[in-house]
Amino acid sequence: MKARDLADAIDISQPYLSQIETGKRRPSAALLQDIATVLDVPVAALYANDRPVAVAGRVGAGATVELVDAYAKGDGLYHVACPDDLPASGIVAVEVQGDSMSPIIQSGDILFFTRHFVGVDENAINHVGICETTDGRALVKYIRPGREPHTFDLHSANNSNQTEYAVHLKWAAPLRRHIAQQDIQTL
């Protein structure tokens, strides 16, 4: 959206909007809400330095976690800072529950991925990825091609869980970034 269009939509002058963007003027909470509404983002997303990403839910690493999309766009369990090496848009964050991927990935860690496709992203195969099974489980696993057509074998990083063979997946996405629980910056 062009600055002129945003300024018109929220009924302020373009120079005033420019002063807000550069930090020379501080908008009221009501004006921030108006801007967020027009841009269809949560107010927290307007704080560019923090680049918040909503933690959309949990993903199982040995724990059984059903994928539930219970939050409106931009909302979630809580918000975390987006890593500098990832774009702020199109990124999904999930919290890990379970220990089947330890010592690599621990319970409470945050995983970032992008899901801009339908089905299994080929970049997730033979890598650690986030996936949803056809029975609705959300998992983080090492994903390998299955022995049967259109199936996948899901491997843990340790022996706490056995490998699941010939699993049908709704979708799978490669892990883009992992933040250990102690390094998470909540917003």
- Name residues whose C-beta falls within 8 Å of residue 164's C-beta, 6 or more positions apart in sequence: 141, 153, 154
Same domain? 124 vs 85: yes
Number of domains in the chain: 2
Per-residue pLDDT of the chain (187 residues; tens, 9 = 90+): 788 999 999 999 999 998 888 778 878 878 888 998 998 887 766 765 557 888 989 999 988 887 776 677 777 888 888 888 888 678 889 999 999 999 999 999 999 999 877 899 999 999 999 999 999 999 999 999 999 999 999 999 988 889 999 999 999 999 999 999 998 877 7
Same domain? 72 vs 13: no
Same domain? 29 vs 113: no
Phi/psi for 155 (5° steps) reads -105, 145
CB atoms within 10 A of CB 148: 12
| Structural domain of 117 | 49-183
Same domain? 24 vs 115: no
Same domain? 68 vs 32: no
- Determine whether 61 is exposed, middle or buried from the number of CB atoms within 10 Å of its CB (0-12, 13-18, 19+): buried
Same domain? 62 vs 32: no
Same domain? 17 vs 97: no
CA atoms of 127 and 102, how far apart (whole Å):
15
Same domain? 56 vs 99: yes
Same domain? 18 vs 77: no
Q: Which one, of 168, 152, 172, lies nearest residue 111 by Cα? A: 172
pLDDT for position 47: 60
pLDDT for position 123: 94
CA atoms of 17 and 6, how far apart (whole Å):
8
Same domain? 96 vs 118: yes
The CATH number for 72's domain is 2.10.109.10
pLDDT for position 69: 67
Same domain? 165 vs 74: yes
CA atoms of 123 and 50, how far apart (whole Å):
29
pLDDT for position 81: 83
pLDDT for position 60: 93
pLDDT for position 50: 58
